[in-house]
Amino acid sequence: MKKLFVIIPLLILGSLIVNGQNVIGVVDYMKVDNPDEYLEVENMWQKIHKERLKQGMIVGWATYQVMFKTIEDPYNYITVSWYDAFSKLDKGIPESVIEAAFPNMRKAEWKAFEDRTNKSRKLISSGVFHQRFTCAPKDLDNSGVYIVINEISVRPGHSKELLKLYEEIYKPLYEEDIRNHNRTNWSFWEKWEGNMKDFQYLSADSYTDLDQIGQPDFMKYFSIIHPDKNPDEISDQMEKLRTLVNTEMWKKIYRIVN
């Protein structure tokens, strides 16, 4: 399954509401042969991204290891950043940021660092997403360690129906699950342009530990929150509207957010 949507040098995942503003998301899917070398490079990039965060260029950045996926694409690491406006995408790295992050680095050293970065991983594909719903209690989720990603294909012409189910039926269940400390966040993203053939939506469930994933009592809230609805009928309705194209699990390696 191909994930090539839009290639952008600095990539992001998700769109949330941060301080009342939209956050646009793009994800980089990368193949890494030498994790130790790659993570050493990404650790250095943290200094760059912390300075970009400080200067308001981004609202967050993260690196995840892909622990599991149900497709054959060869990527095994994900790089994520968050922006609060489309106008801030693809702006490059200003010299002022480099100088603030590495005060004594010469231009030749920066070029060598860029070359080292490019050799440490291969960019497989990229995607831009716009989040429709989130349960994040404040800004971006900074406590989740594991994220379960579901890529979702919807029946043609039934997007509004699908979104209504997620917003009115499932989002309150996730919010209650978060209040009971069974997860840290749930969010739902719409793919922004690009290749819409493989899937059109993406959901992300965040957890602090592996034991929370797949816990069986999630639906116990249904009768409390929706006493007038039949959970089996709702599940059947959802299954007729969507297909789960792929499921992945990501583990946080580095993350900085506001």
Dihedral, 80, 83, 85, 86 alpha carbons, nearest 10: -30
- Given this chain, do its domains 17-127+251-255 and 138-250 carry the same CATH topology? yes
Q: State the number of CA atoms in the 13 A half-sphere of 141 facing the CB.
A: 25
CA distances from 91 to 57, 86, 100, 210 (A): 9, 10, 17, 37
Pairing of strands 60-69, 185-191: unpaired
Domains of the chain, by residue range, sit at: 17-127+251-255, 138-250
Tokens for 129, please give them: 């997403």
- Helices marked H in 84-187 — which ranges? 95-101, 107-120, 159-165, 171-179
One-letter identity of residue 133: F
Q: Regarding the domain delimited by 138-250, which CATH topology (the fold level of the hierarchy) does it fall under? A: Alpha-Beta Plaits (3.30.70)
Q: How many CB atoms lie within 10 A of CB 16?
A: 25
Q: What is the pTM of this model?
A: 0.86
How does pLDDT run across 68-125, given as a tens digit for each residue? 988 888 999 999 888 888 888 877 889 899 999 999 899 999 999 999 999 999 999 8
What averages of pLDDT result for each successive group of 10 residues across the chain (258 residues)? 39 42 81 97 95 92 94 90 83 89 93 96 89 77 90 94 96 92 91 74 93 77 93 94 95 92
Find out whether 16 and 206 touch, Cβ atoms under 8 Å.
Answer: no
Q: Which residue has the tokens 């059109």?
A: 200
Q: How many CB atoms lie within 10 A of CB 71?
A: 14
Neighbours of 4 (CB within 10 A): 14
Report the top-level CATH class of 17-127+251-255: alpha beta
